[in-house]
Amino acid sequence: MRENLINLAYLVAAVLFILGIKGMTHPRTAVRGNRLGAIGMLIAVVAALLDMHVVRYEWIIAGVVLGAGIGTVMARRVQMTDMPQMVALLNGFGGIASTLVAGAALVETLALAADVPLQFTIATAASGLIGAVTFWGSLVAFAKLQGLAGDIRIKGAQMFNAALLALTTAFGVWLVIDPSATWAYWALVVTASILGLSLVFPIGGADMPVVISLLNSYSGLAAAATGFVLNNNALIITGSLVGASGIILTNIMCKAMNRSLTNVLFGIWVPSEEAASSDEVYAGKVKAAHADELALLLEGARRVVIVPGYGMAVSQAQHAVRDLVLMLEERGVEVEFAIHPVAGRMPGHMNVLLAEADIPYEQMKEMDEINPTFEQTDVVIVIGANDVVNPLARTNPNSPIAGMPILNVDKARSVIVIKRSLSPGFAGIPNPLFAAENTLMLFADAKKGALDLMNALKAA
Amino acid sequence: MELLVVSLTVFVLAIFVGFEIITKVPPTLHTPLMSGSNAISGITLVGAVISAGAQISLLTTILGFLAVVFATINVVGGFVVTERMLAMFRRKD
C-alpha cells in the first residue's frame, strides 16, 4: 500500500515535470512552468523520504542543506554572461550523482539479494559510463568556457578514445557476467572518466554550444539509466525528457553552425579551400566612419535591426545597446533584434543577455522570421558578430561556412558594423560584408561604439 | 523481464512526449529550458536520498551522501537560476 502511494507520488511528480516543460513554450507561462517543476521535485523527494528503506535522516539532511546552500549561492551569484559555464557545471553534477547512486545501488543489492537481475547490472554499467563521461566532460567544458583550458589536440586521439570505450565496455560486460565484482564497476567509472576528459579536450571553443547541449542530454540519459537500476519510473520519464531536450538543442546548434555532430565530437575542422586572403577582400574597400556621420544615417531611418554577437556580451554592452534602442524609439524609429541561433555561447544565450538589459522578448526575432525583412530595413547595426553575417555562406560553395544559415544583413540599405578590428571570427575567414558598398565600419569595442552612437544621436 | 518491458515502454513513450513538447519551445527560451530541464534531471536525488538513508554499509551511506550533495546542487541551482532568468523576460509595455 505504502509503496503504491509512493509510486503514485512519483507519477504526480513526472506529470508536473511535463507540464513544467510545457510552460516553457511561452515566456508568459514559463515562470509558472519552472515552479511546477520545482513542486514536482519536492513531491518526489518527500516520497523518497517515506520509502521503507530510509531509516536514518541525518546524512540526507546534511547533504540537502549543503547542496542547497552551494546551489543557491552559485545560482544567485552567476553573471548572465557566464550562464554556459553554470549549466555545464550543473550538467556534470547531475551526471556524477547518477554514477554514485548506481554504485551505491550495486553495493546494496549485493548485500540484500541473492541473485541480481540482468537489467540491473546492464543499467548500472550504463549509468556509471554516461554519468562519469558527463561529469568529466562537463568539467572540461566549464574550464574551456571559463578560459582556464585551451584546445588540446593529440594525434591518434580517436584510437585512444576507441580503446578506452572498448575497455569500459569490457568492464561493463564483466560486471554483467559477475555482478559481485564491484571492482569492475569502479574500474568502469575510472576509464569512463578518462574518456570524458579526452572526448571534450580536443573540441574547439566555437563548438561549445553543441557540447553543452549534448552533455545536457547525457545528464538526462544518466538519470534514465539510474531509473532502470532502481526500477523507478519517475527517473526514467524525467531522464528521457531531458535526454530528448538535449538532443533537440544539439541538433539545432549543429544545423546553425553548419557542422555535423561527428565533426564536432572528433574536433574536425574541414580545411577551407582557397580561402581569399584578407588583403584581397578588404584592400581599399573598407570604409571607416565616425559616430557623427552614422548618427545622421540613423536619424533618417524608419526601421533599424540590431544584430548582436558574442562580442556584445564580452564587453557587457547590452545596457548601452538598450539605451541606444530607447533613443532611436523616441525618434519614432522601429527597432528589432535579429538573433542567430549560435549568437552566444549556448542556445538562447543572447536572448537572456538582452532580457537582462530590459529588452522585451517581442523585440527579439529569430533568424527565419527576420531574414525576409532585411530588404525593407534602412539600417542594420552589427554589434560584435562576424561569421553569422558573412554572405560567403550563401555565395561561395567552397567556403568553410558554405551552406551555414546566416542573417542576410547585406540586403539592407545600409549596414553599420561595430567591431574593434577586421580580425576574423571563429571560422578564420575574411568577411566581404565589411568591404561591401553599403557597409560602414565603426572601429570600437561594442560598448564604446554603442555609447558613441547614442551620444552622437543625442547631439544631432 | 516483465519489469524491463514495462520500464522500456515508459522510457520510449517519455522520449516521444519530450520531442513533442520541446520542439515547441521558442529559441528565446532555450537557455532557461536547458537550465530548467537540467534541474529536473537532478531527479536522481530520489535514489540518492534512499541510499543515504538506508544504512546498509558505511560505503553506501558515503556514496549516497555525496550523491545527495551533487544532485541537490543540480536541482536547487537549476531551479533558482532558471527563475532568475525567466523573471527578466518581460513584454513591451
Burial A372-393 (b: 16+ CB within 10 A, else e): ebbeebbbbbbbbbbbbbbbbb
* Coil, helix or strand at residue A125: helix
- Same domain membership, residue A259 and residue A324: no
pLDDT band at A355 (very low <50, low <70, confident <90, very high): very high
d(Cα B37, Cα B44) in Å, to the nearest integer?
13
Query: Is residue A101 one of the residues assigned to a domain?
Result: yes
Same domain, A175 and A244: yes
pLDDT of A275: 59
**B64-75, pLDDT tens digit by residue?**
999 999 999 999
A264 vs A361: which has the higher pLDDT: A361
Q: Are residues A219 and A300 in the same domain?
A: no
Residues A207 and A331 in one domain: no
C-alpha cell of A250? Answer: 544539439
Instruction: Sort out which chain B residues have CB atoms less than 8 A from A239's CB and list them.
Output: 41, 43
Within this chain, do residues A231 and A290 fall inside the same structural domain, yes or no? no
Residue A112 maps to a domain? yes
Structural domain span for residue A428 = 278-459
CA distance B6 to chain A (A): 9
If asked whether residues A260 and A282 sit together in one domain, one would say no
Please report the pLDDT score of residue A262 as a whole number. 81
For residue A287, give how far its alpha carbon lies from the nearest alpha carbon of chain B (Å). Answer: 34
Q: Is residue A113 part of a domain?
A: yes
What is the residue type of A257? M
Residues A338 and A238 in one domain: no
Q: Which of A196, A230, A265 is the last residue of a domain?
A: A265
Question: In terms of domains, do A352 and A248 share one?
Answer: no
Distance from CA of B22 to the nearest CA of A (A): 6
In-domain check, residue A25:
no
Same domain, A346 and A235: no
Compute the average pLDDT of residues A318-339: 92
Indicate whether A271 pLDDT > 60.
Answer: no
Helix (H), strand (E), coil (C) string for A328-392: HHHCCCEEEEEECCCCCCCCCHHHHHHHHCCCCHHHEEEHHHHHHHHHHCCEEEEECCCHHHCCH
User: What's the alpha-carbon Rg for chain A, to the nearest Å?
Assistant: 26
Q: Is there a single domain that holds both residue A167 and residue A201? A: yes
pLDDT, position A159: 86
In this complex, do A104 and B51 lie within 8 Å of one another by their Cβ atoms?
A: yes
pTM: 0.92
Which of B14, B36, B40 is the closest to A236 by Cβ? B14
**Which residue in the list A387, A410, A445, A452 is annotated as catalytic?**
A387
Last residue of a domain, one of A234, A265, A296: A265
**Rounded distance between C-alpha atoms, residue A377 and residue A298, angstroms:** 11
pLDDT of residue A30: 95
* Burial (CB count within 10 angstroms: exposed 0-12, middle 13-18, buried 19+), residue A177: exposed
Identify whether residues A416 and A315 lie together within a single domain: yes
What confidence tens digit (pLDDT) does each residue in A169-226 have? Answer: 999 999 999 999 999 999 999 999 999 999 998 887 778 888 999 999 999 999 999 9
Say if CB B53 and CB A59 are below 8 A apart. Answer: yes
Q: Chain A contacts of B3, Cβ < 8 Å?
A: 119, 231
> What is the ipTM score, two decimals?
0.96
Matching residue, cell 530541464: B37
Q: Give residue-wise pLDDT tens across range A2-20.
A: 889 999 999 999 999 999 9
Q: Is the pLDDT of residue A274 over 60?
A: no
Contacts of A279 (CB under 8 A, 6+ apart): none
- Say if residue A164 is in the same domain as residue A236: yes
Helices and strands: H and E segment counts in chain B: 4, 0
> How many other C-beta atoms can be found within 10 angstroms of the C-beta atom of residue A112?
10
Q: What is the pLDDT of residues B4-44, one digit of tens each?
A: 889 999 999 999 999 999 999 999 999 999 999 999 999 99
C-alpha cell at A145: 568556457
Identify the CA nearest to B65 among candidates A193, A64, A111. A64
CB within 8 Å: B10 and A237: yes
Q: How many CA atoms are closer than 13 Å to the CA of A93, on its beta-carbon side?
A: 30
Please tell me the distance in Å from B85's CA to the nearest CA on chain A. Answer: 7
Assigned domain for A52 exists:
no
A279 has a pLDDT exceeding 90 = no
Among A242, A265, A288, residue at a domain's last position: A265
The average confidence (pLDDT) of chain A is 90
Cβ-Cβ contacts under 8 Å, A363 against chain B: 92
A387 is catalytic: yes
d(CA B41, CA B46): 11
Hey, is the C-beta of B22 within 8 angstroms of any chain A C-beta? Answer: yes
Kindly report, residue by residue over A43-60, the tens digit of the pLDDT: 999 999 999 889 999 999
**B56 SS3 class:** coil
Q: Please, which residues 32-91 of chain B have a Cβ atom closer than 8 Å to chain A?
A: 32-57, 59-61, 63-91
Structural domains counted in chain A: 2
Task: Fill in the DSSP letter of residue A153.
Answer: -
> Does residue A323 lie within any of the structural domains?
yes
Q: Which residues pair with A334 in a beta bridge?
A: A303
Residue of B nearest to A30 (CA): B86
B80/A75 CB distance under 8 A: yes
